[in-house]
Structure 1
Amino acid sequence: MSYKKDRKVLKRVDYGAAKNSLMGVLAALLVYALVFAWGRIYLAFELESMVAGAAVLTVTAYRLWLVARFDALYGAAPARWRRMFGVGLTLHALLWGLLPAWLVWRVGPGFSFFTVVLYNVGVTTALGSSWMAGLRVRQLYILLMFLPVVITLLITGALHDWVLAALIISYGYYLFRLYRGQYETFWHAVTRERRGPLEKNNKPRRSNTDVQLSLVYRLAHELRTPMNSLMGMMSLLEDTELNDEQREYLQVAGQSGKLLLSQIDDVLDYSRILSRRITLNSDYFDFRSAIEQSLEAFGPMAQSRGLELTCVIDRLLPKRIRGDRERLMQVLTNLFSNAIKFSDEGEIRIDVDFTEESETRGVLRVRVSDQGRGMDAETLKHLFQDRFLDADDDEDLYTARHTGFGLLVCKGLIDAMGGALGADSVKEEGSTFWFTVPVQMQPDMREAQQLIRALDGAQPLVVGAASGTVASLQEEFEALDCQCSSAGDYDNALQAMRASHREQTDFNVLLVDTWSRPELALNLCRNVLGDPSLQPLKLMLLATIEERSQSSIQSLIEKHGLVVLVRPVHRSGLRQALARLMGLQRQVPVGDAPLQTPEEQKRRKRFRLLLVEDNEVNQLVTRGMLSKLGYQVKTVSNGETALALMEQEGFDLVLMDCMMPDMDGFEVTRRLREREQQEESGRTPVVAITANTAEGVQARCLAAGMDDFLGKPVHLDALETVLRRWLPDEPMDQGDEDE
């Protein structure tokens, strides 16, 4: 590789770092305004707030100037630009490292402090994926960001402050290791083509793709370890006494953590797709029910942005189809998210069609349409291509638009299913993403006969609904042997109903939607409920989940027993509402017996669990979860100590971290099983806990003698499920509980 080529690569890296820094410096202004203005810090410390604000504006202006003048400054002297960029990073880190320390010193570790710390964690994490050509500046960035606040927390002397300091120190140490590995990998990749082989041998060289995939798996594993700590701590914090504001902040942090985990999973899935290692788990499942659950999850999100989410499902869709439920819903979730993200108004509509090709096979077609910004022809052409893999040598990757991992993963998954994925779009008019998948089916066209008899060919009328809602209701009422009509104007609908009553051709069921004009919809409901001549009419209101809680609607529910159907409309919700409307008795399922009874808690206290984990933060998180579930646990940090302890004491179950120094969890388990065979003693269940989710890891755990597998981050419900599965009916030791 020539020096000219190296310089071009470095320019791309430097430009990418400069461009990526824009979001960080702009977010700094927002965080400052949030903490000092909305948080009212300036009222108590006006002068210091003004000084901090001036410093934030100065540093932000300097870094924005470096980005805006990149071509001129970099073209004149690349090394000088790098020094200036490093100075900007250093000043930014120094300023935002002092701010949380100042907040702790002046007002204590409240939520203003946590907001700044979350920003610091975010920007230092983001720096890990950019400007990998520089190491010392990035390491200095970590020190300046976290060292002042750590010192301040330690000086305060309170126990909870020391815990926070320990968490920050552990995360900073993790970043130091991550940055070092990225730096070495980057320069190895840049210079490997210029280096000749050090010695001739017959060992085949690994391809670039193999090296990249290995790096992806290693990074994903390293990222999951601190994520286990963060998500676990937040789940424990959620059960403490919090006010409404603190709980809201915690929910936002939890959502961000889940989003980051989904991004990690997308990266892993894409690496599996590139290496053709993607696996599908096909089984029969209810696709309609799965879509309905997604609608209930994404409906409020869309409605909060002023969007209407509707779904039209072919009434001939089989009850159960055979496919990979999780992968299909992963594709659909990505398409939902993109439609909501790139739409500012209008309707997002999902159409699900099914074409039967034989008695046992058919083709599933799904379309997700929006009325958003749309795409131009050039963007649409490269929508499902990875520009980093397919680009020419002379193409500037940092100025081109790139497809995110989400669509690339969707494309790979649909291809693996033997289907097709595509998109159509018109600029400023909207986009339609579609996919087709061949599936097997279990025909089951039985309908709700009791509800069909109760409706008895009713003539429903829907007023004020979006086009997708109307189409969905028409499809569902046809399945119930009814013909549904629609009207867009509330006043004309009332006149039409009174005229039909005089002509004795009444509509039997009226569905009023608040989508177009909420106030007019409620007025129509009041007029119908208050008109004695229209009393035989069955009235149902369609509203969002937020509107249902409004006092005006609640008063109609209490006074007239108004039936409310929450949008987005789907089959199960509609049929439950119709059953209430027609006075059908609903069968209430028998509830599960409570698990956390006093007897169960007392029984759990008698179990003895052993946790083998080398990471102190993960020890704290897992112990907290087990304590929350009511179990007692002993903790050791290495495999040799674990084997020695298990030789002296008996345990009902062992939670084993796989990746530990010196002796890993696989070797510990093998030695434990060998000892049990020699001594002919009982088998102790061993559950693996690891952040490595690559293919083959679970099989390796079982081959080593482990009984089950938990991936990091560990969730409380998954942990409880595994413990209930493997713990015996009664503990082996009835002695005193371990402290």
Structure 2
Amino acid sequence: MDFADLFTRSAREMAPLAQRRGLQVLFDYRGPLLRVESDEAALHQSVHRLCEAAIALVHDGFLFLSAQTTLHEAGLGDVAVSVAAAGARADDSRIGELLRSLGMTERRLAAQPGQGEEPGVATGVCPSTGAVVSFAADRTNGVLFALDLTLPASPMQEQDPPPDAAGARAWLVSDAPGHWESLVRRLQRLGWATSTFASGQQASRQLAALKPGMARPTLVIAAPSGNAFEGLDELRMRLPPGTQFVLATEPEPSVAPPAGVETIPWPFSPGELLALTRRAEDAHAAFSGLTMPAPLTFGDRPHALVVDDNSVNLLVASGLLQAAGFEVATACSGSEAIERCREQAPRLVLMDIHMPDMDGLEATRRLRALQREGALPHFAIVAATADTVGVGEASCRQAGMDGFLSKPLTLEAIQCELARVLRGNRKSLAA
């Protein structure tokens, strides 16, 4: 069984349910494509029940679906599935009720003085696969379910190297660009240089403005919505022969696509992206020259470090920063944050305040001291805290922070604050 295809199929089936709850779906897959030996129906059900649970607990926010695979020489593969949701969260009693229905044992956490206990962490065993299932919640707006399995596995491709688009241009057209970000990141990992457009008309104007010798797109992906295919026919007519033109559709689209247009249900599977990239490898002539504005590659993505001792907050903040155009690393404490910055200086640090070992204020002071000594380059540090009373913005600025965000985090708040903090470097916030 192709695990990547199974995981993608689950995401496609869950996307309509998430969207009805007002959740924007972000999808990612990292690691080798594995053929795993497992009961396909049981594994499918295992992923489904966690997605359904996360969607039931949150609305008006984001659903992050991610999988990480690792292949061992002993013929075994590790599969880690994370299902996180951020938004308006269900109350504590509803969370407890759902966890009990999943057969999970909950360990509640102490809240602020006088506030009783709060949902914390829970563990259990999936009845379908026998896999370990974990749950965590933060105090405000996030929940996380994790599924970890070790299965007999082999690589889907024995010897073929992964394809590399080598800078070929991929244009993505949608009036909801936030939905593209996880796809942008995945394409860039495969060597694509990406540009995003809000409409077919905008992309057509850009194409018409390109001078001879400037590179045209080798791949165009469009997601019709609102006025469906408005402007896309004109764009298709302007594209060079051989350009791959793909419509990202719902699993069961309500509008028939134009004749001769390839359709792929969203989100795209790893195998589908590899196939699109392999087709581009032969179109070398389309890779030369420049487009305007210059498309972004994976190397252009700015790096950010998220620091938080709560696993839910880490995953949610990472997902939101990825949606804002960053490649993200994480740290669970202030001391670990300093180590990560020494290993690779980020463009931005999103710093929690209350952490054991070393809090965010002290970590910021030490990072600024290292920068004054010349041991680290300058980068922005932005506070992210739910304690806006005990630790205010003034204390954060005194410690050397550049900005301040209140939890629960939202994509809009992150984009606005980072636009202010990183003013003058628009490329750092580009998708």
TM-score, normalised on structure 1?
0.30
* Structure with a larger share of its residues in helix: 1
Flag the structure with higher strand content.
2
Q: Which has the higher contact order (CA 8 A, sep 6+)?
A: 2
Larger radius of gyration: 1
